[in-house]
Amino acid sequence: MLSNSLGPLSPQRPVAIEAVAVAPSRLPAVVRTDLVAALGADAVRDDDISRARRAGGQSYSDLIRRRRGDTSDAPDAVLLPATTEAVTEVLRICSEAKVAVITWGGGTSVVGGLEAIAGDCVAVVALDLSRLDRLKSVDHLSRTATFEPGIRTPAAEAALAAHGLSLGHVPQSFERASLGGYVVTRSSGQASSGRGRIDDMVLGLRLATPIGELDLPTMPGSAAGPDLRRLVLGSEGTLGIVTEVTLRVRPTPEVTRYEAWAADGWETGQRLMRRLAQDGPKPDVLRLSDADETAVSLAMSGTTGLKKRAMDTWLRTRGITTPCLVILGFEGSRADVRHRRREVRRIVRSESAAPLGAGAGNSWAHNRFSGAYLRDTLLDTGVLAETLETATTWSQLGGLYDGVRTALQDTLTRNGKAPLVGCHISHVYPAGASLYFTVLAAAETGAELEQWAAAKHAANAAIVAAHGTASHHHAVGTAHRDVVLADLGGDGQVGVTALRAVKNALDPAGILNPGKLLPS
């Protein structure tokens, strides 16, 4: 299907990680000695494999570079502190020696947040938090749990399950991403309609900075000055290292129910999303695919040929000519799910959507993390596969959708072959929604980075022109540095001045994740 649609594809093999040559480490020997003294030899790694494994994150560009064996963005060393005190020691040593520190959680950044940019530092270390991976405490009465930052989501959920509790933060990176990573990138999970963004779940945290610790207490609500938690949320490792976070948790859901529906067209589907977001009751998961993404989803789930024609015929009898997939998910107590589901289905039916059943819903839930892994296969096949996302108000959503779609299609069409551009609404709010685009095109062998850079540049420009945000849930990193100005306030100068002032005050040596977040 892909070569029919995208044109001839040139399969590519990645260079094996063992065959990758990494440049000699620039870490000064004296700094290495200090770090070994502070952390132990086992926690200071500068072998090629350890360094190559921390060369960038999971963006298409990161993958292409690593597949080529290009590890120019490998850090000079990898540090594995096991205590908060060790993190503090790293900050002290690196501040004195002017060594850049990139915080490493699950390594799933898709916005270049992990690029080992030295800036004006003499070397770069990746501060890998994977040994800080404990559930530290649970407050059952207040329904909060305190974690170390390096714990990955499956481990966090397993630890909570022993207490009958659940976090319920489920982004596509669920299996690898860390809780600390969610906090500093302002993540949003697939159940955000019910559970909210990570921003809404953070009640307290500790941040190690080069000038000392910021220990923000666990508080349900406060008017005691600006909420500094929100300054850490989205700070992307530029202000300090989150060493502990206290999050809202809930009882393990009694039941989870997923189901799929087909709405007739993107406009109708959007109205349905908006009604549910504004007037409720809201499902916990609420997603809408446009017609193109729906077609690809159906094809990938085996609905092709005769099966496809039968489905189309059945949908036409229901008045649906342009099916747009709707996913609804409900999690909670039996009574709550029963009530919400009944009400939501009533509203869904009032928009003339057709039920595709629990099977299709469960299939979505079953495959909810698979897209990221599928990408490796697509890249092997010679396909450019990347995603990007944004958000805006409901009244501006149509313009944003059209603008970004056109930009991607125009820049990626080659020899009359257009890319496949699918889009879904992945997160809804009373005031608006996010748009998540998936792009598939024939990769230009040898010029993959330039090909995607041109498309990303055009998409970024379209987002700014249509009043979208530079990122709804993946952060700024390097990918959005030059389009974040509007989000930071008009021409961005006052906002950038404010953030730079905080940065300079907390990180006077300028070692924390240089070249990220703030415009160049």
Contacts (CB under 8 A) with its own copies, residues 144-163: 144
Which is nearer to its own copies, 71 or 390 (by Cβ)? 390
CA 3 to centroid of chain Cα atoms: 29
Contacts (CB under 8 A) with its own copies, residues 22-81: none
Given the structure tokens 């305190």, which residue do they identify? Answer: 146
CB 214 within 8 A of CB 228: yes
Q: Assess 350 for contact with its own copies (CB under 8 A).
A: no
Q: How far is the CB of 194 from its own copies (least distance, A)?
A: 11
Q: How far is the CB of 441 from its own copies (least distance, A)?
A: 25
The amino acid occupying position 83 is: T
Backbone angles phi, psi at 89, to 5 degrees: -65, -40
Q: How far is the CB of 117 from its own copies (least distance, A)?
A: 17
First to last CA, the chain: 41
β-sheet with 383-393: strand ranges across = 354-356, 255-264, 323-332, 285-289, 420-428, 432-442, 383-393
Q: Assess 500 for contact with its own copies (CB under 8 A).
A: yes
Buried b (16+ CB within 10 A) or exposed e, 230-258: ebbbbbbbbbbbbbbbbbbbbeebeebbb
Selected from 122, 291, 461, 502, the binder of its own copies by CB under 8 A is 502
Contacts (CB under 8 A) with its own copies, residues 222-241: 222-228, 230-236, 239
Which is nearer to its own copies, 214 or 439 (by Cβ)? 214
Q: How far is the CB of 97 from its own copies (least distance, A)?
A: 22
Question: Using the 8-state DSSP alphabet, how is residue 13 labeled?
Answer: -
Question: Could you give the C-alpha distances from 295 to 193, 286, 291, 416, in angstroms and in order?
Answer: 25, 19, 6, 21
State the burial class of residue 443 (Cβ atoms within 10 Å of its Cβ: 0-12, 13-18, 19+).
buried
Helix axis angle for 60-67 and 448-465, nearest 10°, is: 170
Which is nearer to its own copies, 349 or 500 (by Cβ)? 500
Q: Assess 211 for contact with its own copies (CB under 8 A).
A: yes
Contacts (CB under 8 A) with its own copies, residues 427-456: 427, 429-434
Q: How far is the CB of 104 from its own copies (least distance, A)?
A: 19
Given the structure tokens 């009574």, which residue do they identify? Answer: 335
Binding mask 180-199 for its own copies (x = CB under 8 A): -----xxxx--------x-x
Distance from C-alpha of 203 to C-alpha of 218, rounded to nearest angstrom: 5
Which is nearer to its own copies, 30 or 501 (by Cβ)? 501
Q: Any bridge partners for residue 331, and if so which?
A: 256
Selected from 94, 123, 214, 324, the binder of its own copies by CB under 8 A is 214
Contacts (CB under 8 A) with its own copies, residues 454-473: 467, 469-473
Dihedral sign (CA 150, 154, 156, 159): negative
Selected from 40, 164, 212, 359, the binder of its own copies by CB under 8 A is 212
Selected from 64, 116, 476, 479, the binder of its own copies by CB under 8 A is 476
Distance from C-alpha of 244 to C-alpha of 247, rounded to nearest angstrom: 10
Contacts (CB under 8 A) with its own copies, residues 360-399: 391-396
Q: Give one word for 240, left, alpha or beta, with left for phi > 0 and alpha for psi -120 to 50.
A: left
What is the 3-state secondary structure of 142-207? CCEEEECCCCEHHHHHHHHHCCCEECCCCCCCCCCCEHHHHHHHCCCCCCHHHHCCHHHHEEEEEE
Distance from C-alpha of 106 to C-alpha of 129, rounded to nearest angstrom: 9
Please report which helix (H) or strand (E) contains residue 34, including its range.
Answer: helix 29-39
Selected from 48, 336, 351, 444, the binder of its own copies by CB under 8 A is 336
Selected from 275, 339, 345, 457, the binder of its own copies by CB under 8 A is 339
Q: How far is the CB of 200 from its own copies (least distance, A)?
A: 9
Q: Assess 424 for contact with its own copies (CB under 8 A).
A: no
Which is nearer to its own copies, 261 or 394 (by Cβ)? 394
Selected from 120, 254, 267, 279, the binder of its own copies by CB under 8 A is 279
Contacts (CB under 8 A) with its own copies, residues 111-140: 139
Q: How far is the CB of 391 from its own copies (least distance, A)?
A: 6
Q: Assess 501 for contact with its own copies (CB under 8 A).
A: yes
Which is nearer to its own copies, 215 or 450 (by Cβ)? 215
Q: How far is the CB of 16 from its own copies (least distance, A)?
A: 34
Given the structure tokens 């700024």, which residue do they identify? Answer: 476
CB 134 within 8 A of CB 147: yes
Specify the stretch interacting with its own copies by CB under 8 A; choose among 69-77, 163-171, 254-262, 276-284: 276-284
CA 142 to centroid of chain Cα atoms: 28
CB 285 within 8 A of CB 193: yes
Which is nearer to its own copies, 28 or 280 (by Cβ)? 280
Which is nearer to its own copies, 22 or 391 (by Cβ)? 391
Collapsing DSSP to helix, strand or coil, 287 comes out as: strand
Specify the stretch interacting with its own copies by CB under 8 A; choose among 158-166, 171-179, 215-223, 358-366: 215-223
Q: How far is the CB of 262 from its own copies (least distance, A)?
A: 24
Contacts (CB under 8 A) with its own copies, residues 289-318: none
Q: Assess 166 for contact with its own copies (CB under 8 A).
A: no
Number of residues in contact with its own copies under rule CB under 8 A: 92
Q: Assess 506 for contact with its own copies (CB under 8 A).
A: yes
Question: Using the 8-state DSSP alphabet, how is residue 431 labeled?
Answer: S
Which is nearer to its own copies, 51 or 516 (by Cβ)? 516
Question: Using the 8-state DSSP alphabet, how is residue 283 labeled?
Answer: P
Dihedral sign (CA 171, 173, 175, 176): negative
